[in-house]
């Protein structure tokens, strides 16, 4: 039997990984099949960013308040709930206020903040946002660099040289002419001192078509000291243009880097705005968590006060001989249990406040008094019936992740177009023209005959260049194409994610609303039940243990209601975030 059991256990252990692999494989196949049937026509949807999310814009009808919803809910449940008409106030009236625990958390001494104040502080002081603000500045500087690539360039240079050469005997030469100069002779270079000064200034103009135009004016001064000394000044007006005809030709190619930088800057701005919205969403949820912590502390205090009240009542009854002494021990146990719950509630309140301070970058006030944060914004307890399709379409056109992917896809398209041009041969046309001035021995006359067309030089040339295999350019092009394909697949996945998040958020809104209604009814019924059990204890029909159990159920019902209210507000935050916006009453703009 032992061996069989062991074999069975081993078989089960071996089958578990196989089942897990089978499950993951089936889920992957389902995901791929579902991705294939996504409507491809929505891939290039025009995206428009939205500023805020207002629930009433997507509601099919006017919202119903909590009181009306509770009445409707109570009418549905009145046949299932037996009403016990007992005065709950009288049952929970404090018997001995002096015996209630003194808590360090006093709302009267706390710093009260509305949710709008908290958002403003988070946007102003949050370090994550401060870091993210640098990215748009960096992107702006990169864009300015690209835009300056067509700036005109002014250039100038000056050079002076001096040559002091001795007499040099050269080769023998033959002279033949129409007169008596025919014959042979020897040519010798005489000693001389030549000082040359070259000065040039001009403008180089990069063209958006890829070419370059250069306009310059060189001046040369030559002084020769020797037997045949001379002083000459020569000048020219030169014009040249170089224009690619295939590779790097055209405005589209040469302005590609500027357009890519513009898209990158826009993508970074969306990313920064998304971070700000995420911080606001987390701050909002932290605010409602603090609201929940305060409410739970109030419930735990009430539970403790009621336990103290019961203990005092039992003491009097034991003294009067109306109740057995064992009930005193039970009442003391109830007080101790609620003391522990009260301590835990105070600790949770500290943690919630610290988390909110973290988002506001306000941790320096941790050691100062008073440093308690109190929430004064009340929950918005109204119900909306959302138009799901309208909300989904709004999310698909305003979700910042999709906007960021859209501009990156546009940048990829431009980059691919540029790299396609880079696979072409380099074929360049060069043209130069110079209007020359004859030699002059006076600097004032150096430009007198420059533009009369008497002396000039010009040249026209073509240059061809092509890699033997061109694999480098083709590889870069293939890489860019695959990068765009990856982004397209990511966009489809992100679209599915947005749809899921929208539907999940809407379901959570409705679910939390129903939780509020149910919890409110539980609180009422639990309070009535506690009052009835307390009366029966006074009549000797119930023990203190049974009374404390109903008191515990009352506290847990109140905690459920508090959590449902907090979760309802958080679900609205999630719904707004799923659309790429913030709640409409946030009074924030980007």
Residue written as token pair 């609201």 = 291
Q: Residue 119's closest CA among 576, 508, 559, 563?
A: 576
Name the pairing type of β-strands 373-375 and 111-113: parallel
pLDDT at position 36 is 44
Radius of gyration of the chain (CA): 44
Which residue positions in the chain have pLDDT lower than 70? 1-51, 73-74, 76-105, 177-183, 226-227, 365-370, 438-451, 453, 584-590
Within 10 Å of residue 84's Cβ, how many Cβ atoms? 12
pTM greater than the 0.85 cutoff: no
Beta bridge partners of 153: 204
Q: Tell me if 555 sits within 8 A of 299, measured CB to CB.
A: yes
Exposed/middle/buried for residue 90 (C-beta within 10 Å: 0-12, 13-18, 19+)? exposed
Beta bridge partners of 112: 374
The three-class DSSP label of residue 375 is strand
Q: Tell me if 571 sits within 8 A of 270, measured CB to CB.
A: no
Q: Tell me if 501 sits within 8 A of 578, measured CB to CB.
A: yes
Cα 409 to Cα 45: distance, rounded to the nearest angstrom: 12
Exposed/middle/buried for residue 328 (C-beta within 10 Å: 0-12, 13-18, 19+)? middle
pLDDT at position 35 is 40
Strands (E), 227-300: 230-244
Tokens of 308: 């103290």
Residue written as token pair 């739970």 = 296
pLDDT at position 78 is 62
pLDDT at position 377 is 87
What values do phi and psi take at 8, rounded to 5? -65, -40
Residue written as token pair 């702006």 = 140
Q: Tell me if 382 sits within 8 A of 316, measured CB to CB.
A: no
Q: What distance lies between CA 579 and its chain's CA centroid?
A: 14
Q: Tell me if 216 sits within 8 A of 230, measured CB to CB.
A: no
What values do phi and psi take at 111, rounded to 5? -85, 115
The three-class DSSP label of residue 175 is strand
Q: Tell me if 220 sits within 8 A of 252, measured CB to CB.
A: no
């Amino acid at each position: 039997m032992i061996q069989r059991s062991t074999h069975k256990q081993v078989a089960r252990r071996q089958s578990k990984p196989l089942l897990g692999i089978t499950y993951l494989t089936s889920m992957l196949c389902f995901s791929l099949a579902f991705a294939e049937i996504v409507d491809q026509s929505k891939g290039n949807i025009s995206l428009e960013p939205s500023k805020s999310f207002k629930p009433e814009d997507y509601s099919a009808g006017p919202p119903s308040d909590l009181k009306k919803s509770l009445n409707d809910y109570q009418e549905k449940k009145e046949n299932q709930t037996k009403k016990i008409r007992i005065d709950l106030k009288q049952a929970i009236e404090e018997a001995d206020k002096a015996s209630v625990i003194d808590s360090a958390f006093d709302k009267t001494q706390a710093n009260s903040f509305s949710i709008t104040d908290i958002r403003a502080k988070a946007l102003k002081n949050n370090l994550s946002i401060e870091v993210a603000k640098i990215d748009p500045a960096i992107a702006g500087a990169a864009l300015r660099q690209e835009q300056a690539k067509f700036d005109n360039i002014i250039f100038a240079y000056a050079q002076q040289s001096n040559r002091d050469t001795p007499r040099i005997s050269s080769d023998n030469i033959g002279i033949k002419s129409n007169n008596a100069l025919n014959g042979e002779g020897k040519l010798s270079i005489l000693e001389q001192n030549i000082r040359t000064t070259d000065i040039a200034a001009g403008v180089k103009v990069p063209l958006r078509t890829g070419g370059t135009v250069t306009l310059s004016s060189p001046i040369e001064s030559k002084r020769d000291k020797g037997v045949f000394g001379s002083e000459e000044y020569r000048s020219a007006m030169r014009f040249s243009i170089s224009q690619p005809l295939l590779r790097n030709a055209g405005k589209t190619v040469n302005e590609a880097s500027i357009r890519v930088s513009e898209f990158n800057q826009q993508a970074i701005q969306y990313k920064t705005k998304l971070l700000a919205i995420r911080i606001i969403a987390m701050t909002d949820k932290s605010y409602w968590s603090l609201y929940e912590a305060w409410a739970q502390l109030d419930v735990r205090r009430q539970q403790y006060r009621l336990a103290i009240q019961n203990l005092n009542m039992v003491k009097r009854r034991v003294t009067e001989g109306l109740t057995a002494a064992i009930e005193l021990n039970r009442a003391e146990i109830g007080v101790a249990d609620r003391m522990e719950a009260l301590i835990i509630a105070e600790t949770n309140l500290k943690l919630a406040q610290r988390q909110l301070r973290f988002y506001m970058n306000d941790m320096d006030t941790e050691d100062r008094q008073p440093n308690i944060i109190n929430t004064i914004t009340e929950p918005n307890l109204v119900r909306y019936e959302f138009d799901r399709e309208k909300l989904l379409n709004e999310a698909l056109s305003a979700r910042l992740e999709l906007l960021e992917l859209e501009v990156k896809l546009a940048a990829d398209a431009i980059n691919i177009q540029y790299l396609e041009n880079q696979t072409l041969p380099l074929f360049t046309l060069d043209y130069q023209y110079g209007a020359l001035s004859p030699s002059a021995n006076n600097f004032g006359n150096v430009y007198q005959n420059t533009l009369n067309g008497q002396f000039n030089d010009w040249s026209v040339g073509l240059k061809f260049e092509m890699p033997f295999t061109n694999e480098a350019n083709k590889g870069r092009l293939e890489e860019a194409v695959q990068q765009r394909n990856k982004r397209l697949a990511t966009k489809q996945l992100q679209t599915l994610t947005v749809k899921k998040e929208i539907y999940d958020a809407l379901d959570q809104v409705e679910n939390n609303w129903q939780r509020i209604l149910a919890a409110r009814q539980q609180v009422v019924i639990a309070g009535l039940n506690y009052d009835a059990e307390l009366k029966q204890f006074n009549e000797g029909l119930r023990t203190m243990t049974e009374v404390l159990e109903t008191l515990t159920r009352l506290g847990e019902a109140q905690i459920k209601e508090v959590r449902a209210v907090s979760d309802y507000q958080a679900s609205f935050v999630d719904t707004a975030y799923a659309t790429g916006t913030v709640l409409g009453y946030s009074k924030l703009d980007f």
